[in-house]
Amino acid sequence: MKPLLQVAEKERARRRLAELREQISYHDHRYYVLDSPEISDAEYDLLFRELKDLEERYPDLVSSDSPSRRVGGAPLAQFAPVAHRQPMLSLENAFNEGEIRDFLVRLGRFLHTDQVPILHAEPKLDGLAVELVYEDGVFSLGSTRGDGLTGENITANLATIGSIPARLQAPAPGMLPARLEVRGEVCLSIAGFRELNRQRAEASEALFANPRNAAAGSLRQLDAAVTAARPLEFFAYGVGDAADFGVATQAELLAALAGAGFQLIPHGRTCPDLATVIAHFHHLAELRRELPYEIDGMVIKVNDLALQQRLGAKARSPRWAVAAKFAAVQATTVLVRVEFQVGRTGAVTPVARLEPVSVGGVTVSRATLHNEDEIRRKDLRLGDTVVVQRAGEVIPEVVKPVVEKRSGAEQAIQLPAACPECATPLVRKEGEAVRRCPNPLCPAQRLRSLIHFCSKAGLDIEGLGKKAVEQLVQTGLVRDIPDIYRLRAEQLAELEGWGEKSAANVIAAIAAAKRTRLARLLAALGIRHVGEVNAQLLARRFPTLEAISQAEEEDLLEIDGVGPQVAASLVSFFRDPATEEMLAQLRDLGLEILPEEARGENLPLQGRVFLFTGTLEHFSRDEAKARVKERGGEIATTLNRKVTDLVCGAKPGSKLTKARELAITILEEADFQRLLAGSSQGYV
């Protein structure tokens, strides 16, 4: 029996992970989808690091909808979706020399070697990642990264950028493949950013916060002529599949891209050892202020492409690369007041309002403080002079108060005892860092739920953005989700700022949203702990919404990736009479759930579930699991009747005996190697 202290610590970790998932997913959406981040990269990185640390300490608490398994955000509705043949992943971060060394240790552990591979290092440009597709050497398709699997078709806009070749040059005879997917960063120079903001100021238009936002906004113009008028540049750093080029190293790949006509990120170099990597990192940190483009770190990649393929990727990032981040830029300002916002799950979040200050050339005036503990830990007071830092060129992090500048007039920050929206007494459960409003009828929570349902993370109902939903709630036209489907064009046309055309468009969009897929509806309903990834897992396992709503916790826990917290949340949600009534109303209003699209069909190990036991000689456990997942197989953590294959290394233990009793296929490591080799034919 586990000590009570251990159980309590794990429960606190479970609750904190839930909060972190919610916060990070929100900020991912602000950054990747809306191009309107609310916190700095440094603040985001702290949240993400805390999430990963907790997940490493408690691997059984990792949920399939964890942000650690996701990349970016959903594509915008204005542009047609583009599926990437190879996922466009994000990068893990390293913040100091020790963490760069840790990256190399992880490489050696995965590859079963003590030898450090040759690396390639280059500046990390702060722009927008895009993919360019060339067919027979001609630019045919361009897209954003999007959620890593699906991006936005911005071909017409990318075609206006002069540094993107319309037709490729052949680096060598026969070297250009019939189809080539080139990846890189679209950037706006610092000088170009300042000139663009000067022009916008003269035209009384809103200024861009930083070059990255300006580049993203320029690429997402519906009129390509607007994009063409802005001084954007493209820098290539890789391809979707290096095998297309027939080269062996990252350095050779970049040389081939340069030969094909692409501009490369300057100041990149091949590094034979750790000392060279560290030296180049410090060199770039000193050089960054002289560069014409903003950089926020250095990307380190394994140079050998065969090793890159062997290392593979986790859900969110490749194992063979890391982003070493520079120290943040800091400034001081005054903490004027703290406001409290209520989220859709009832979490009350404090937001710092600051006297506007220029940090690294950008004016900032607000920062999210996360929770009560954050305020207490930093000992923040109203009227304090505070140090703020801007590592990601967005909203800053409040680092600390400057205690020496206190005059005595500063005031303690009073946290609300009651919900600022509905006056219900707030509760803070043991182990949780946030105060919550427990009132399910709280107008702020209902409003946030409605906004989420209509948003791009929900059913993506065009025309029903945040302001429109707020207006509908304020006028009393919408109180809950079914009310959205009861709206009539004549009601909307009478509202301020609307007209017959906009009203008709929204009604048409609502009608279209009556036909949706199960995974999308599950994500839109805002069930706590159920994000896009978990929604997809559920939809793949259960054929209908009714089947999910009737499932017991033990049924849900059989899904790889669904943990106790998610299962309990689902059962609680669907057993609630209010949920049953809402779903009944939606069915009566014509909601139709379409069959899920098949994904990953014809993968060689699809339908097989593998469990590993004992010590493998030729693979690390992580690499073996990665090889299975790449080929469509699933990984089990315990031995049960769903396991189809038990892979045995040295000293397999009791699992082998039990597997024989259950008539499960037993694979020695040599059998497993042959299976992988056979399943690779025609697959990679």
Cα(328)–Cα(321) distance, rounded to whole angstroms? Answer: 22
Please identify which of the residues 52, 124, 301, 655 carries the catalytic annotation.
Answer: 124
Confidence class of residue 216 from pLDDT cuts 50, 70 and 90? confident
Is 364's pLDDT higher than 90? Answer: no
High-pLDDT (> 90) share of the chain, %: 45
Q: State residue 522's pLDDT score.
A: 93
Spatial distance between the Cα atoms of 129 and 71, rounded to a whole number of angstroms: 12
81-325, which class in CATH? alpha beta
Residue 652's pLDDT is 84
Averaged pLDDT for residues 215-233: 86
The pLDDT > 70 percentage for the chain reads 90
Q: At what angle do helices 466-474 and 443-454 cross, to 10 degrees?
A: 140
Cβ neighbour number for residue 75 with a 10 Å cutoff: 24
Instruction: Assess contact for 168 and 132: CB atoms under 8 A.
Output: no
Instruction: Name the average pLDDT for the chain.
Output: 86
- State the Cα angle at 494 between 488 and 497, rounded to 5°: 115
User: Higher-confidence residue: 64 or 352?
Assistant: 352
If pLDDT is split at 50, 70 and 90, which confidence band does 22 have? confident
- Distance between CA atoms of residues 670 and 647, nearest Å: 10
Residue 52 designated active-site: no
pLDDT, tens digit (0-9, with 9 covering 90-100), for 594-603: 876 555 456 7
Residue-wise pLDDT for 166-201, tens only, equals: 888 877 667 788 899 999 999 999 888 888 888 877
Q: Where are the domains of the chain?
A: 4-70+328-412, 81-325, 443-594, 609-679
The CATH number of the structural domain formed by 4-70+328-412 is: 2.40.50.140
> Would you state the pLDDT for residue 360?
63
Helix (H, G, I), strand (E, B) or coil at 182: strand
- pLDDT confidence of residue 602: 66
CATH no. for 609-679: 3.40.50.10190
pLDDT band at 113 (very low <50, low <70, confident <90, very high): confident
pTM score, whole prediction? 0.55
Dihedral angle sign, alpha carbons of residues 666, 672, 677, 683: positive
Contact call for residues 225 and 204 (beta carbons, < 8 A): no
The CATH architecture that domain 443-594 belongs to is Orthogonal Bundle (1.10)
Going by pLDDT thresholds of 50, 70 and 90, the confidence category of residue 396 is confident
Q: Which of 72-76, 254-258, 550-554, 594-598 has the lowest mean pLDDT?
A: 72-76
pLDDT, tens only, 477-524: 999 999 999 999 999 999 999 999 999 999 999 999 999 999 899 989
